[in-house]
């Protein structure tokens, strides 16, 4: 997997060559958000203010932005991006419109050269407030199924070392915010850089035993079970979760058949009668799949309502390769946070 670029940068503003794809017209401010090396930075939030009037837009995934409806005169434009230092500059809007780029400079400390030379592996990143786009200090980042844990510093930055070449599930939490599960694959010879926005607590908090059970299952998972990250699901290009699991590398390599009769849990809650292919793959962050006898903790079996029906009685989702030899009895689905 390619490494993600550093996220979190101080901002300078530059005049740049015109973007050929954008035609200027009165009231239009266009440009691009870049990092200090000239690479594009997507999803930055730009706010243009003139007196009591404020216009807020979000740059696209390629860093391009477009703000229309700006009257000629003086405007204050601010740019914010989670993990980046905010900036506010005053511009003079000419009658014919304006092109202007914003360049962001990282606040993430460079990895120690000795660690790079030693091929440090793990996950680095920043935790921030999803609404204010500001860093969060004191957030806990914990590897579920393992003992690794760390916290975010005053700039929201964290570094969690762990062996490379594996799928992992992190739980990120901070008081006053919704806890979040993040699935990633650690590169075999390097590190992955991510950003984790946390929202102010709006949903009902999940019982702690749900996360405790998840942690125990991952800690004692046998080679017969499968843990599937969001990245792996997306790579299958499947629409339904059932089809995605049937094509996922972690499932096929273990010879697991995804059956519509499986007992399905969603976010730790049993869902009797729910077939796995009724769930959209794009809505999922992480999946656990357990053939009979592979969940040594028996937490799923103990949580399933006595006498409740698992999935649907008719049909199966065919295995994606010959020689599959075991059916998934329990499938635990963790939905992606909005």
Domain boundary among 106, 136, 160: 106
Per the prediction, the chain carries an average pLDDT of: 85
Residues 29, 126 within the same domain: no
For residue 188, is it within any domain?
Answer: yes
205 inside domain: no
- Are 162 and 236 within one domain? no
17 and 94 housed in the same domain: yes
* DSSP three-state, residue 243: helix
* Distance between first and last Cα of the chain: 24
Q: Is the pLDDT of residue 317 over 70?
A: no
* Amino acid 109: pLDDT: 61
State pTM to two decimals: 0.77
One domain, residues 169 and 259:
no
Q: In the predicted model, is pLDDT for residue 17 greater than 50?
A: no
Q: What does the pLDDT look like over 76-106, one tens digit per residue?
A: 999 988 878 788 899 999 999 999 999 888 7
Structure tokens at 164: 């490379």
Higher pLDDT, residue 337 or 298: 298
Residues 79 and 117 reside in one and the same domain: no
Residue found by looking up tokens 């006595």 in the block: 306
Give the pLDDT confidence score for residue 13 in this predicted structure.
37
Q: What is the CATH number of the domain that holds 178?
A: 2.60.40.1120
Please check whether residue 211 lies inside any domain of the structure.
Answer: no
Indicate if the pLDDT at residue 309 is higher than 50: yes
Is the model's pLDDT at 2 over the cut of 70?
no
Same domain for 164 and 236, yes or no, is: no
Domain housing 97: 9-106
Number of domains in the chain: 3
Reported as a single tens digit per residue, the pLDDT across 157-196 is 998 998 888 889 999 999 999 899 999 999 888 888 889 9
**Rounded-to-integer distance, Cα 332 and Cα 267, Å:** 7
For residue 6, the model assigns a pLDDT of: 35
Q: What's the rounded mean pLDDT across residues 306-322?
A: 65
């Amino acid at each position: 997997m390619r490494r993600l670029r550093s996220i979190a940068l101080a901002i300078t503003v530059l005049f740049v060559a015109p973007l050929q794809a954008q035609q200027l017209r009165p009231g239009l401010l266009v440009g691009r958000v870049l990092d200090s090396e000239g690479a594009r930075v997507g999803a930055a939030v730009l706010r243009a203010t003139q007196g009591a009037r404020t216009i807020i837009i979000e740059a696209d995934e390629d860093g391009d932005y477009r703000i229309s409806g700006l009257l000629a005169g003086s405007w204050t434009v601010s740019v914010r991006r989670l993990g980046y230092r905010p900036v506010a500059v005053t511009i003079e809007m000419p009658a014919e419109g304006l092109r202007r780029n914003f360049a962001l400079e990282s606040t993430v400390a460079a990895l120690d050269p000795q660690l790079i030379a030693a091929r440090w592996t793990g996950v680095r990143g920043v935790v921030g407030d999803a609404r204010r786009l500001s860093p969060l200090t004191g957030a806990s980042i914990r590897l579920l199924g393992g003992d690794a844990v760390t916290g975010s510093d005053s700039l929201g930055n964290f570094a969690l070392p762990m062996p490379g070449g594996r799928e992992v599930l992190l739980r990120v939490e901070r008081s006053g915010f919704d806890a979040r599960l993040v699935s990633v694959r650690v590169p075999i010879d390097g590190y992955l850089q991510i950003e984790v926005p946390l929202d102010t607590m709006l949903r009902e908090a999940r019982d702690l035993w749900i996360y405790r059970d998840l942690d125990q299952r991952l800690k004692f998972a046998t080679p017969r079970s499968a843990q599937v990250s969001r990245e792996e699901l997306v790579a299958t290009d499947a629409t339904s979760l059932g089809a995605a699991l049937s094509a996922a590398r972690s499932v096929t390599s273990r010879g697991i058949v995804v059956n519509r009769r499986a007992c399905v849990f969603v976010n730790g809650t049993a869902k009797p009668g729910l077939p796995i292919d009724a769930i959209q793959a794009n809505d999922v962050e992480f999946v656990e799949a357990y053939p009979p006898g592979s969940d040594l903790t028996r937490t799923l079996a103990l949580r399933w309502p006595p006498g409740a029906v698992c999935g649907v009685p008719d049909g199966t989702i065919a295995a994606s390769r010959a020689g599959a030899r075991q059916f998934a009895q329990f499938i635990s689905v963790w939905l992606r946070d909005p």
